[in-house]
Amino acid sequence: MIHFECDYLEGTHPRILQRLVQTNMEQSPGYGEDEHCKRARELIGARCGVDPSQVHFLVGGTQANSTVIDAILKPYQGVISALTGHINVHESGAIEMNGHKVLAIPGEGGKLTAQGISAYCQAHYADATHEHMVQPGMVYISFPTENGEIYTKEELSAIKLACQSAQMPLFIDGARLGYGLNAPSCDLTIEDIARLCDVFYIGGTKVGCLFGEAVVFSNAALSRDFRYMIKRHGGMFAKGRLLGLQFETLFEDGLYDEISRHAISLAMALKETFRECGIELYADSPTNQQFPILTREMAAELSKKYVFAKWADVDSEHVAVRFATSWATTQENVHALIEDIRAIAGAAN
Amino acid sequence: MIHFECDYLEGTHPRILQRLVQTNMEQSPGYGEDEHCKRARELIGARCGVDPSQVHFLVGGTQANSTVIDAILKPYQGVISALTGHINVHESGAIEMNGHKVLAIPGEGGKLTAQGISAYCQAHYADATHEHMVQPGMVYISFPTENGEIYTKEELSAIKLACQSAQMPLFIDGARLGYGLNAPSCDLTIEDIARLCDVFYIGGTKVGCLFGEAVVFSNAALSRDFRYMIKRHGGMFAKGRLLGLQFETLFEDGLYDEISRHAISLAMALKETFRECGIELYADSPTNQQFPILTREMAAELSKKYVFAKWADVDSEHVAVRFATSWATTQENVHALIEDIRAIAGAAN
Amino acid sequence: MIHFECDYLEGTHPRILQRLVQTNMEQSPGYGEDEHCKRARELIGARCGVDPSQVHFLVGGTQANSTVIDAILKPYQGVISALTGHINVHESGAIEMNGHKVLAIPGEGGKLTAQGISAYCQAHYADATHEHMVQPGMVYISFPTENGEIYTKEELSAIKLACQSAQMPLFIDGARLGYGLNAPSCDLTIEDIARLCDVFYIGGTKVGCLFGEAVVFSNAALSRDFRYMIKRHGGMFAKGRLLGLQFETLFEDGLYDEISRHAISLAMALKETFRECGIELYADSPTNQQFPILTREMAAELSKKYVFAKWADVDSEHVAVRFATSWATTQENVHALIEDIRAIAGAAN
Amino acid sequence: MIHFECDYLEGTHPRILQRLVQTNMEQSPGYGEDEHCKRARELIGARCGVDPSQVHFLVGGTQANSTVIDAILKPYQGVISALTGHINVHESGAIEMNGHKVLAIPGEGGKLTAQGISAYCQAHYADATHEHMVQPGMVYISFPTENGEIYTKEELSAIKLACQSAQMPLFIDGARLGYGLNAPSCDLTIEDIARLCDVFYIGGTKVGCLFGEAVVFSNAALSRDFRYMIKRHGGMFAKGRLLGLQFETLFEDGLYDEISRHAISLAMALKETFRECGIELYADSPTNQQFPILTREMAAELSKKYVFAKWADVDSEHVAVRFATSWATTQENVHALIEDIRAIAGAAN
């Protein structure tokens, strides 16, 4: 079987693995206070235009979301999210665990809009009983979204403005940030991301690392005592240098972008194939995940040779599925998949 | 101004006030372990067909909801509620405060359906990643609903069955229970309520008391150590006998129903008037709250003499409002209101 | 039996009861936005030297402690308390419910010392791993303490200074505040209390009310959105005017102090009797609670006629007990008790 | 500088590193559902005498403690721990974050006693106001303790009995379990550990892994839906096979014990040296951590060449410090340290 069901199937990019082996016998202090973390913080800080002290490393995405949100909100506040937001759907209540309601509002696809955010806040404060309702305290968006979509600079700027008007910080979940920034249609740089939000994270787990997410506070006022928060959330990694050396490797000579571009170029070949074959897409993703809507027969046929993820039931005859690519996806496998899609789709027509 | 904006405008029913005065100098132990609480538990237990030990008194509705739900759910579970459910909208995150997501699903009006509950649970367990999603752990409904609607015996029985199939307890918020049970169209008794759910409460605050809600566990397995939960939630009332003597008065000779019927009969007169005048209703309530959809002019005109609550913006020209009646509402005031509605509606036609 | 086991045995002071009866049919908005609450806030504000907007009414002490502490602390912070502090011992984990550790340190009797507070904070920050430990975020003291003791102006000023040095707010639990302020040896006024802490509350439940505690923020920066916090904690009382009218009555013409002085004078007569009879005291309380150490025989003998509370086992032959007085305690009953103590103690010698 | 300050200075044991490299390009499902996790669960299950389904892998110790305790306790319950317990001191309130008080009681050194546990529970239930106090709901001990001490089979059996009498599960924090089980004086096997508690974990981070702790439920009733709990706590590791392959390597041919014995034998050589030189020990540890009490001069002298951790201030002239050994500690370094201790101690005499 050839696997396309997600972007965390293999271990880690060979250059990270090599670094891990080389440094194995180094002795270093724990909890992120080592030289690798220091260097990784400097590289990321320089790249994003923030002070290195504002960079923190965590193990995974749910942990990052839960710790950042808990650090920012007051007890009676909630976090605005798209209905499809990871924190609203796929974190087993990790946000609620710390007492916060996810204020889920419809977006356009998986994207929030500035207008939707502003309307929600205005309605909240216009209600005479607003003290009886959870106060919106911050906004969470994913870039790319859970459906692979990206925001334009104009959209993100408008969202930032809407947040500022309502005095709410903006948090960007960048579990797949590289795939968003390197999408052909993306007009945002990582400095833009940093500038247009208050805190975001640079996903490692899904972009070549064994594990790890780099949380970056562009608004330093929000990161006070953040290490206490990390520890409290069970996220203070003992051998912190493992996180440091992975991000050091990703950011010292462009590996993060290189990995992302590789995966996107293969995903775009797939997308082109779906288009050619008249297969509709569940979401218009310019990133490493593609969501074709297949007939159930086509899905069954393809699943004899390929593994991919079910995404959503569309109707009794159609199902949306996910194909994901990564640093480890090969041209050969994608080529084989393309041939088979063409064959099956051709047969179907 | 004549007030109709809610059903907790005045103090307490004269018979409760009298009892309060009579017993003022009694000396009694605190925290609900006095003779008045004992007698009230016995009266309620006998009336509902549950053991008196399964009756607990709390001060208010949000406290009751938050304490009961926290007592029942496992940490990773959430509570299914209608989108309009009080716990989803008007408790400032009291449920999330204890770590639980409100799993809000659309209902019919403000009512959940057995089918909606079953479909939600089936979809949850059918999802391969269900361990990444909040597990549905109980169901919360209001009787009457926030919009004044009531469930039929058939509907409630079906919901109970759906809950049992999914091994979830059913909790009924009865903040206005009396108004539901005494609605002309109601085919349920309080014994039915007790039998068809696992835990419910008998609202006092809105049905003649100064304050107080009587939580009744018909499923005794759920009430283990409930007094620890009450204390922890800040709900262990020092002079507990105040709660006891109010419910004792309500349940010793039918006052609870008497109060409810008085309010409903006045509300029905209002409802009839709205119908006569061709004024649509936002929700078809057979209980003490009525929700006419007024033109904004009509609302402005009426508000010169009457106070009522805004309920929802319907469109640019119409607004849904709430008129509530209670034990303290007088025939005179309702009569005056009816005359004025007729006059204004007539003028508008 | 004559009862002395606590100071919340009866209903409420006759003047409050009368006010309750007089105002029963008034119509007022809910949730503390009525005229009685307004007037009570003004009276208390004027008396304490704070803005009336900084006064909030809650139902009970545990609720007040839990809501105030949750409003002030950051998630990773704890509250310093004496080992005997109510929040550390008798609130079933209401503070932990919101995620906060009670940092319990030994005091002198039930009192914290400025030195103890400072030493704790210095040790915390001196520890290289302090980010792995709960950060001290505020200080909680009771006035009077759970053992009836009071702080002097000098002691309280030193504690305030220690808190300021460590940038921690000071919170005073005044469940029995009147009994402390009116103790013969007290050199503090309520204005001093307000000035020397950041937030405190004026206990009503144990000083003549049916129920109710008035939370006063002298540091307005801490009260932002406090009404959201109240609602979330289940403490937003529907018929708020009941709280308002009670505190209005207590503070419009000195009733709060009158009640307190009555109870203290009776308690001092008891204390004098214990001294005369050579009965040691478990704590040297100048307030309405007295804690004699009785032989078990003496305790058994007295308990034939009087009810009092067991406080602590001292040794196999002695037990510390509590006698409490209140607005409702009569001269006659105290006189009878004094005679009986003298008789039993005389017999024992 | 030669490092002895902790047992997590280096990366991972060469055999684990090799396995990591070998398996890097394997494709596997995420979240612990891969073949390495399956095999590791089988190896551990067989070794401990529990069903493989009762083994779960987490990243770190605080996460393991917090998730297990949150899974077991009811909201109003607390966890009994020694004052020195990791959960009481060094987890930044991770236990309180989920609403639970740590009921810290004095032990003997860092060890709890059966008698201490029983006495605490009896006192709790004997108190008339026990519903106002946090209910003891489980017991937490560390094996070895934070001071390196171990329990005998007799002691642990007595604790288990005390827990059963009070109907409380027993949880053993085995962050350094291997060092305890392989201590020369240990009379317990890992099967004994499993049998004598309800849940424990096998520490990997400090015993040769990059990271990872294997939680083992010997009482399967406690592990219901534990994967929801893991996800909710941010501990569901995406590339779960990394945890699996590490524990697979540790348990397939005795590496876990081999690593432990290596570290202990070096630690015993150090301990013998302290004894020889008349240097007192802060705790009598038969495991890989040693806690000599040094004069401040001696500590200063040694710290010119060695890094070790400060443990506790003993008096103005003495300080307790920690030397830790691990799989990576060399004979050469220990030999050099021994020589230097002897030289400095000799000079001091």
3-state secondary structure string across A99-139: CCCEEEECCECCECCHHHHHHHHHHHHHCCCHHHCCEEEEE
Pick from C27, C97, C205: CB nearest B9: C27
Q: What is the pLDDT of residues B253-294, one digit of tens each?
A: 999 999 999 999 999 999 999 999 999 999 999 999 999 999
Residue D69 vs residues A85, C229, D233: alpha-carbon distances, Å: 29, 28, 11
Pick from D98, D228, D234: CB nearest A66: D234
Q: Which residues of C touch A70 (CB under 8 A)?
A: 75
- Subunits next to D (3 or more Cβ pairs <8 Å) are A, B, C
pTM (2 decimals)? Answer: 0.97
Domains with residue ranges and CATH for chain B? 2-7+256-348 (3.90.1150.10), 14-253 (3.40.640.10)
Question: Average pLDDT in the B238-261 region?
Answer: 98
Amino acid at A146: E
Q: How many angstroms separate the CA atoms of A212 and C224, rounded?
A: 37
Check residue D78 and report its DSSP letter: E
Amino acid at D305: K
Q: What is the pLDDT of residues A8-56, one digit of tens each?
A: 999 999 999 999 999 999 999 999 999 999 999 999 999 999 999 999 9
Cβ–Cβ under 8 Å, residues D159 and D170: yes
Q: Using the beta-carbon criterion (under 8 Å), do C131 and A231 form an inter-chain contact?
A: yes
Pick from D28, D211, D236: CB nearest A62: D236
Q: How many angstroms separate the CA atoms of C214 and A273, rounded?
A: 70
Tokens coding A276: 């050619």
Q: Any long-range contacts for D186-194 (C-beta under 8 Å, 24+ apart)? A: D186/D150, D186/D286, D187/D152, D187/D153, D188/D150, D188/D151, D188/D152, D188/D153, D188/D156, D190/D47, D190/D48, D191/D47, D191/D48, D191/D49, D192/D153, D192/D156, D193/D48, D193/D143, D193/D156, D194/D48, D194/D49, D194/D50, D194/D218
Pick from B90, B93, B310: CB nearest A78: B93
Amino acid at D113: T
Residue B242 distance to chain C (closest CA, Å): 8
Q: What region, left, alpha or beta, does residue A186 occupy, with left being phi > 0 and alpha being psi -120 to 50 degrees? A: beta
Cβ–Cβ under 8 Å, residues A30 and A19: no
Q: How many angstroms separate the CA atoms of C312 and B229, rounded?
A: 25
- Pick from C166, A268, C33: which is nearest to C41 by CA? C33
Q: What is the pLDDT of residues B189-233, one digit of tens each?
A: 999 999 999 999 999 999 999 999 999 999 999 999 999 999 999
Please report the DSSP string for C143-177 in residue order. SS-TTS----HHHHHHHHHHHHHTT--EEEE-TTH
- Subunits next to B (3 or more Cβ pairs <8 Å) are A, C, D
Q: Which residues of C touch D92 (CB under 8 A)?
A: 76, 131-135
Q: How many angstroms separate the CA atoms of A243 and A240, rounded?
A: 6
Q: Which residues of C touch A73 (CB under 8 A)?
A: none
What parts of chain C have a pLDDT lower than 70?
Answer: 348-349
Residue D85 vs residues B97, C96, D81, D111: alpha-carbon distances, Å: 28, 18, 6, 9
Check residue D292 and report its DSSP letter: B
List all residues 6 or more positions away from C19 whose beta carbon is below 8 Å from its beta carbon.
Answer: C245, C246, C248, C249
* The length of chain C, given as a count of residues: 349
Q: What is the mean pLDDT of chain A?
A: 97
Q: Using the beta-carbon criterion (under 8 Å), do D99 and C78 form an inter-chain contact?
A: no
Q: How many angstroms separate the CA atoms of D84 and D68, rounded?
A: 19
What percent of chain B is predicted at pLDDT more than 70?
A: 99
Sign of the dihedral defined by the CA atoms of residues C50, C52, C56, C59, in that order: positive
CA atoms within 13 A on the CB side of C333: 18
Q: Which residues of A touch C232 (CB under 8 A)?
A: 75-76
Q: Using the beta-carbon criterion (under 8 Å), do A99 and B96 form an inter-chain contact?
A: yes
Q: How many angstroms separate the CA atoms of D146 and D131, rounded?
A: 32
Cβ–Cβ under 8 Å, residues A265 and A302: no
Q: Using the beta-carbon criterion (under 8 Å), do B234 and C206 form an inter-chain contact?
A: no
* Best residue in C21, C25, C27, C36 for a mutation probing chain B (most B CBs within 10 Å): C27
Residue B243 distance to chain C (closest CA, Å): 11
Q: How many angstroms separate the CA atoms of B273 and B275, rounded?
A: 5
Torsion of CA A264, A270, A271, A274, to 10 degrees: -170
Q: Using the beta-carbon criterion (under 8 Å), do B132 and A100 form an inter-chain contact?
A: no
Q: How many angstroms separate the CA atoms of A104 and B212, rounded?
A: 33
Tokens coding A122: 């205005």
What local confidence, expressed as pLDDT, does residue C346 receive? 81
Cβ–Cβ under 8 Å, residues C80 and C140: yes
pLDDT by residue, tens only, chain D of 349 residues:
999 999 999 999 999 999 999 999 999 999 999 999 999 999 999 999 999 999 999 999 999 999 999 999 999 999 999 999 999 999 999 999 999 999 999 999 999 999 999 999 999 999 999 999 999 999 999 999 999 999 999 999 999 999 999 999 999 999 999 999 999 999 999 999 999 999 999 999 999 999 999 999 999 999 999 999 999 999 999 999 999 999 999 999 999 999 999 999 999 999 999 999 999 999 999 999 999 999 999 999 999 999 999 999 999 999 999 999 999 999 999 999 999 999 998 866 5
Cβ–Cβ under 8 Å, residues D349 and D314: no
Check residue C134 and report its DSSP letter: P
Q: Using the beta-carbon criterion (under 8 Å), do C99 and D102 form an inter-chain contact?
A: no
Q: Is the ipTM value over 0.90, yes or no?
A: yes
Residue C79 distance to chain D (closest CA, Å): 12
Q: How many angstroms separate the CA atoms of C106 and A5, rounded?
A: 58
Peptide bond into D52 cis (omega under 30): no
Q: Using the beta-carbon criterion (under 8 Å), do C27 and B8 form an inter-chain contact?
A: no
What local confidence, expressed as pLDDT, does residue C150 receive? 98
Instruction: Please name every residue paired with A108 in a beta bridge, in sequence order, or none if there are none.
Output: A111
Q: Any long-range contacts for C331-340 (C-beta under 8 Å, 24+ apart)? A: C331/C266, C333/C2, C333/C4, C334/C266, C334/C269, C334/C270, C336/C2, C336/C305, C337/C2, C337/C4, C337/C270, C337/C306, C338/C269, C338/C270, C338/C273, C340/C302, C340/C305, C340/C306
Q: Using the beta-carbon criterion (under 8 Å), do A62 and D231 form an inter-chain contact?
A: yes
Q: How many angstroms separate the CA atoms of D142 and D155, rounded?
A: 13
Q: How many angstroms separate the CA atoms of D185 and D177, rounded?
A: 14
Q: How many residue pairs bridge chain A and chain D with CB atoms within 8 Å of each other?
A: 131
* Best residue in B22, B96, B236 for a mutation probing chain C (most C CBs within 10 Å): B236
Please report the DSSP string for A137-189 in residue order. EEEEEESS-TTS----HHHHHHHHHHHHHTT--EEEE-TTHHHHHTSTT----
Q: What is the pLDDT of residues B301-344, one digit of tens each?
A: 999 999 999 999 999 999 999 999 999 999 999 999 999 999 99
Q: What is the pLDDT of residues B126-151, one digit of tens each?
A: 999 999 999 999 999 999 999 999 99
Residue A203 vs residues A175, A188, A216, A337, D239: alpha-carbon distances, Å: 4, 17, 11, 27, 14
Residue B334 distance to chain C (closest CA, Å): 16
Provide Rg for chain B, Cα atoms: 21
SS (H, E, C) chain B: CEECCCCCCCCCCHHHHHHHHHCCCCCCCCCCCCHHHHHHHHHHHHHHCCCHHHEEEECCHHHHHHHHHHHHCCCCEEEEEECCCHHHHCCCCCCHHHCCCEEEECCECCECCHHHHHHHHHHHHHCCCHHHCCEEEEEEEECCCCCCCCCCHHHHHHHHHHHHHCCCCEEEECCCHHHHHCCCCCCCCHHHHHHHCCEEEEECCCCCCCCCEEEEECCHHHHCCHHHHHHHCCCCCCCCHHHHHHHHHHHHCCHHHHHHHHHHHHHHHHHHHHHHCCCCECCCCCCCEECEEEEHHHHHHHCCCEECEEEEECCCCEEEEEEECCCCCCHHHHHHHHHHHHHHHHHHC
